[in-house]
Structures are given as structure tokens and as C-alpha cells.
Amino acid sequence: MCGLLGLLTADGSAAAHADAIAAASHCMRHRGPDEPGTWHDDDLVVGFNRLSIIDIEHSHQPLRWGPPEAPDRYALVFNGEIYNYLEIREELSRDEGTVFATEGDGEAIVAAFHHWGPDAVRRLRGMFAFAVWDTQTRSLFLARDPFGIKPLFIATGPAGTAFGSEKKSLLELLEGLRLADDLDPRAIEHYTVLQYVPEPETLHAAIRRLESGCHATIRPGSAPEIRRYFTPQFGVRPFAAGSEQKRYDQIADVLSDSVAKHMRADVTVGSFLSGGIDSTAIAALAIRHNPDLITFTTGFERDGYSEVDVAAESAEAIGARHIVKVVGPEEFVAAIPEIVWYLDDPVADPALVPLYFVAKEARKHVKVVLSGEGADELFGGYTIYKEPLSLSGFDKLPTALRRLAGRLSDRIPEGTRGKSLLHRGSLTLEERYYGNARSFDDARLRAVLRDYRPEWTHTDVTAPIYARSQGWDPVARMQHVDLFTWLRGDILVKADKMTMANSLELRVPFLDPEVFAVAEGLPFDEKISHGTTKYALRKALEQIVPAHVLHRKKLGFPVPIRHWLAGPELFDWAHETIRNSQTDHIFDKTAVLAMLDEHRAGTVDNSRRLWTLLVFMVWHAIFVEKTLAPSISDHTYPVRL
């Protein structure tokens, strides 16, 4: 796990940019505090910050490698982990006679690329964002893992193309690329509705993300040629006929294998543990490989907003040492500017704050943690996935009657039972389902956003995703949308940013190509069935997780934002943040303050909408106004832990 940064110049002036790359790399030193490095030739300059996990004494980056006839042909910078690197190295040694100089996974990547070309990315089982520079063909190859676990930003201007693990590093290079730092108004509107900035957008118009499951080839002076190499196909390749138990055994086996490979490291591996089935399953499988496993959880000093007791019970049941971090409102507020700085672009998910604190606590004890992200998207775990069943009656109605139901819902007062059901039943799946987050509806958005554009809707983001899932069952289509929106826009961003903020590597065994290959074939009734979600996964885990968590409702790391924004904990901070923000040209601050007053009075729960705007205002103060400068310390950690 590391941070990479590079610049492919258009005019062969790489050496002149070496100092700028080194300086810009420093602002992501938290991603790799163990070892910095730079390298350049005429066209390319790269910088690297290493967090040493595998082959600590060697595998330095930037890594030079090549075949015997050209031993320094390639240069590699690589963020992530390849969990099947041992198998790849063995195959290349056996079939190609490849000789390796290190024991690491980085060398496996560049050797695989040499022999297999761009198709090598399809063979990698891991999380990654990497760049391989071929000094013979003068071409740069960038790739990102199938699910978007690791980030990769790109900016192309007249002076060349810059790429890096964090957007803030690229912001420091825009002037050298002869690019402006203007904000993207469409991305702002998308963020306000969705609570995150959807890929490939960022809030800066000049910087974009290489999307998950894509690779790019770039030559000096040319724009990136981007290709998608991974497209999920839920339900298209169903399980072969056979007993359900064989399915459940297959799920258990492939997940066990994934956890085993995710435990590969030369440092200590721990595990996050909430009160839910996903993280408990990962921890229960992990302890088979490390009997001294340490688990970590977090909670708040408020009833109903903590799974600390359940997580502790789970840890005791599997035999793990357990550590708890309880977060109070004062440290919560104090950490917000620093957390937003680490995010690069705002993400309005309050759960990232406790994640930051539990990662900070975990880093005192381990260097790597496992976590349960991705299980809901792969196995059908969100409660909203039950909606096609509850709305199935509307699907049988003529379109005119469905629209009439929608008009009737508009006349029903807010808060009345059945209003939401009528409204959502009147819409098609494509119209109503944006993904797992929606902060503002059109009416509220129009009232708050100065430059509201009705044509910039969620369908900008979701329409092409839905187009790829025609003919699938509705739950499969919702999962498909979430893989390309909520998972990579929120879940994985906060997982990467909050752990890397603390120089902690997070691994997600559910998001493994082999696990996905099993999950994608599950039929509708193996996801939403018997009144529960993730039915097949729960059946598969019956002999793995403790009984007390097997059928618990999903809670995760809930945050008492609704209560705190209405009370002394956050109200004054929120009021001051809104009043001082220089975002009058973006938001109607009078309307925002009225929302805050409504929320305190208890007439409307505006907590998620307010949090969306507040996080943006903090972000704007840091990255645009530059009136807020979080204190970011240079953490020092032992290389081995």
C-alpha cells in the first residue's frame, strides 16, 4: 500500500519537473511513510511513497525490471497488493523462465505485463493502481483494479499527463501542465444529490479518475487511450443446476480461500469487526491463519449508535483479542477538517469519521487490517434490494395508472404513511433508483443550489449503467448500479482514505474476482428470500460465524448526526461553518440556515442534507478559499509491526 505520482511530459522535459514531483509527493506521505523514491528519464518522472508490507527489505520503488537482454526496460510504480503474486511468479518462472530479483508482488506485475501485455490485469487477484513505463516503446500503461479499491487520478494538459494516488498532489501540478483549477459545476450538482462525486468526475474540471476495471495507454504528447477490461455480469452466467447446499459450500470455500490469500504479509494483519455478518465472517476466517488475531471496533457514547457489545461478543466467540475505540462529539468535530483534507473530494457519509478513529487506533497495533466491504453489493445485502418485491404490484399497472399514483402522492402531506410507497411505485426502476444514497430531491435541490440545472440529473450517472443490464432481474440491476456508484464512490473511497490517513493498509476479501465469479451467478431468490437479505451468504456462513450475528439486521458504524446537529454537540459548529463559508455563489446560505433551524426545531429531519452541505463547505474552505489549513503531522511508525 503506497502512494504514487508521475508526469509523462509532452516535450521530453521530465528532468525539469523532478523537484516538483518530489514536492507534490510529500502531501501524500501518509500513504507510504516507510520509504520515498523518485526516478526519471527524458519523458517520464515518477515519485513514490512506500508502505512496506511484503518483502520489506527489497522491492523498492520505483522498480526497474526487464528481461535478460534489456534488464532495465521497464519502470514500475504500484499502489496495492496482488494476493496471487506467488502463483504468478511460479507460473512465469516455469513457463517463461523468468528470473526474479525480489520476493515481492511488484516484480510479478511488471513481469506479467512483459509476457502477457495488457491482458495481465485480468490475471491479477488483488487491489491495485499501477503505472508501467516501457522505455523501448516509450509508452505508459496505467491500470486500476476491477472494483476501484485503489484510486488513480489523471490530468492531461498541453505539457503532458500527470497521474497519482491522490488528487491533492495533482492540484500542485496543474500550473505546470498549463491547466486551470476551476471547479466542475455538474460534479457539484451530482455530489449534492448523491453525497459523493461519481467516477470519473472530480470536483476539479481538469482532473478525472481512471475508472475501476479500466486501463490506459499513454504516449508522450498524446491523450490517454482508455479501455475497460472488467464488466460485471450479474445473473448472466447462472449457477449450474444442482443442490443449493453445493452453492453454499462453494461460497464458503471461495471466501475462505480469498481470506487466506489476503492474509499474506510480512507484517501483522488484524481485522475490523462491527456487529454484522460481513466483518464477523472475515475475522472468523482470518483467525484460522493467525490465532493471535486482533480485532477493532468503534462506537459512540449514545444508546442505539454502537455495536461495541455485539462486536465484543463476536470477538470472544471466535477467540480474538478485541480493542474498542469510543468516539465523543468533541473529538468528532475537531477531526472534521483533517478528515476532509485526506478525502481529496468530499464524501458526505458520516461513517467515515468513526472509520478514521478506529483506523488510527488499529495502527498502534497492526499495519494491515481486513474488512467486510463489498459483501452487500455482491450478495444482495441492502434492505432497499427488497423494494422490487414490495413494489411488484405497481409493475402490473398500465403506465397511466402508475403516473396517476405519482400525482396522488404529490397531494399527500409529508410524513403521511404510504406517500413514499405511492411515489416510488409510480416510477420505473431506472427513475427511482440512484444507488444507495440520495440527499436532495429536485424541489429541495432547486431551493438550495444557485446554478441548478435540471438536465444534470442522476441519469447522467446511472443511464449508461442501466443500459448494460437490460434483461437482468431488478435486484441484479440494483447491484450493478451500486457497484459503479455507491461502492466505488463512497464505500471504497472512505475505506481507502481513512485507513491511508493513518498509514494503515485495508484489505477487502469479498472484493475478489474469484468471490465475484461465484456471487454473480446467484439467482434473485438466493439474495432476497425468507424475509432476509444475503440469503445464500448467510447459509454459507452458518458454520463460520457465531449464531448471534447470523441473522442480525445491518447496522454498521452508525453516527448520531441527527441528534448532534439539533443539539449542543454540533449545532453551533454547523451554524458557524455555514455563516463563514464563501460558497454564496454555489448555495443559497439563507435557505441552508433555514434548514438548520428546521432541523433543530424537529419539524424536518435535515441531517443528511445538512451534512452533505457542511462537508462541502469545509472542503471548499480548505481547497478553494484556503481559509482553513488543517494541521497534518508527519506520523512516524515502525516499519515492522
- Determine the number of helices (DSSP H) and then strands (DSSP E) in the chain: 28, 17
Prior bond of 454 cis (ω within 30°): no
Residues 188 and 244 in one domain: no
Shared-domain flag, residues 154 and 208: yes
372 annotated to bind ligand: yes
Tell me what the mean pLDDT of segment 400-410 comes to: 86
Q: Does the pLDDT value for residue 636 go beyond 80? A: no
Quick check: helix, strand or coil at residue 529? strand
Q: Walk across the sheet containing 321-327 and list its strands.
A: 321-327, 294-300, 269-272, 368-370, 505-507
Among 2, 53, 76, 504, the one annotated catalytic:
2
Q: How confident is the model at residue 436 (pLDDT cuts 50, 70, 90)?
A: confident
- Provide, rounded to the nearest whole percent, the portion of the chain with pLDDT above 90: 80
399 and 337 within one domain: no
More confident residue, 376 or 399: 376
* 452 and 315 together in one domain: no
Domain residues for the domain of 423 are 384-475
Q: Is 20 in the same domain as 152? A: yes
pTM given for the model: 0.95
Identify whether residues 619 and 510 lie together within a single domain: yes
- Looking at residue 567, its pLDDT comes to 95
The answer to whether 50 touches 62, Cβ cutoff 8 Å, is no
Domain with residue 539: its CATH number is 3.40.50.620
292 is in an annotated binding site: no
- Closest by alpha carbon to 140, among 77, 81, 201, 199? 77
Q: So what's the pLDDT on residue 240?
A: 66
Q: Which of 164-168, 366-370, 395-399, 555-559 bottoms out in mean pLDDT, i.e. has the lowest?
A: 555-559
Name the amino acid, one letter, at 303: D
Encode pLDDT of 534-548 as tens digits. Answer: 999 999 999 999 988
Same-domain check for residues 139 and 258: no
Tell me the pLDDT of the chain averaged across its residues.
93
Of 475, 491, 519, the one marking the end of a domain is 475
Which is it for strands 126-134 and 74-82: parallel, antiparallel or unpaired? antiparallel
The pLDDT-based confidence of 455 (bands split at 50, 70, 90) is confident
How many domains, the chain?
3
pLDDT given for residue 363 in this prediction: 96
111 shares its domain with 209: yes
508521475: which residue's cell? 6
Asked if residue 239 has pLDDT above 80, the reply is no
Element (H, E) at 39: strand 35-40
Tens digits of per-residue pLDDT, 326-380? Answer: 999 999 999 999 999 999 999 999 999 999 999 999 999 999 999 999 999 999 9
Considering 201, 228, 255, which residue would you say is the last residue of a domain?
228
**Residue 165 is labelled as binding a ligand:** no
pLDDT-based confidence at residue 602 (cuts at 50, 70, 90): very high
Q: Are 429 and 388 in contact (CB under 8 A)?
A: yes
Q: How confident is the model at residue 557 (pLDDT cuts 50, 70, 90)?
A: low
The amino acid sitting at 292 is: D
Verify that 21 and 117 share a domain, yes or no: yes
Does the active-site annotation cover 2?
A: yes
More confident position, 394 or 254: 254
When pLDDT is cut at 50, 70 and 90, the band that residue 556 belongs to is low
Q: What is the pLDDT of residue 308?
A: 86
Query: Of 425, 452, 475, at which residue does a domain stop?
Result: 475
Q: Find, among 491, 571, 562, the residue nearest to 302 by Cα.
A: 562
Answer yes or no: do 361 and 497 share one domain: yes
505 and 607 in a common domain: yes
What's the pLDDT band for 640 if we cut at 50, 70, 90?
confident
Please check whether residues 334 and 297 belong to one and the same domain: yes
